[in-house]
Amino acid sequence: MSLVINHNMMAMTASRNLTSAYDSLSTSVNRLSSGLRINSSADDAAGLAIRELMRSDISALNQGVRNANDAISLIQTADGALQVVDEKLIRMKELAEQAATGTYNSDQRLIIDSEYQAMASEITRIASATDFNGIYLLNGNLSSETHSGAGLNSTGKLKVHFGPGNDSSEDYYYVQVGTSTASALGVGLGATTTAGRSISTQELAQTALDQINKAIVSKDKIRANLGALQNRLENTVTNLQIQAENLQASESRISDVDVATEMTEYTRDQILSQSAVAMLSQANSLPKMALNLIQG
């Protein structure tokens, strides 16, 4: 290469190499300081798209875990109330057994029946008052076979949504709770059949025994269904947590920086930058040699 004054090609080459090394050094600093291999779409456009989809699914799965845990709390609330209903039905059967014997007179049976009716009223009160976050659980609101979420307030059985999509076989299922009022169980004055309405006579008390047994079975079916749903939800929570963990691991492999590899690149680019700066300094001094020739 000729010794010229107008164009310093060596300096231009050193400057270009310095720019390239400095850009690579800047990228390494960005990745090491953020911990991410992908900090913008320019780093890896396809990887960025995959990562963001994974992140959205991870967030949805984590919320699904919270949704399922809320549903477990709801079921436990309903089951706790039914446990109290169970105690009332046991007391009602005890009272019916007492009134069914011939050693009590009519006045005494009326007194026994007054407690029997009080127990029935308490069952209805419990069923009407038991709620979770304003959702009434035992009064029949959740007993319908159908569900509609079209309005501001959903109707019918309760939908528990836990998956990141909208597939009925994968992402949600329903909690259906039977009506647990005294009339629905067939006991107390609100019962639609004579059996179980009252124990004011010996005959009524005897028929009430069978009806109370049916009421206990009906209540136990509701509790068994709730227990099965709770177990299912607990398994769902475990599965969702595993899915979120595996997705997080996949997202990490795509998005996170390999510190060891990146640190190697950083050291290489740092040395190249320092070398380019030194060579640029040397290249800038070359035109002085032409000046020396001119000055003689």
Please state, in angstroms and rounded to a whole number, the distance separating the CA atoms of residues 146 and 144: 5
pLDDT tens profile 261-285: 888 888 888 888 888 888 888 777 7
* Residue extents of the structural domains in the chain: 9-35+257-295, 49-255
Domain 49-255 in CATH 1.20.1330.10? The answer is yes
Strand 158-161, strand 172-175: pairing: antiparallel
Stronger pLDDT, 22 or 180, i.e. the higher one: 180
- Say if residue 46's pLDDT is above 80: yes
Question: pTM for the complete prediction?
Answer: 0.80
pLDDT tens profile 61-119: 999 999 999 999 999 999 999 999 999 999 999 999 999 999 999 999 999 999 999 99
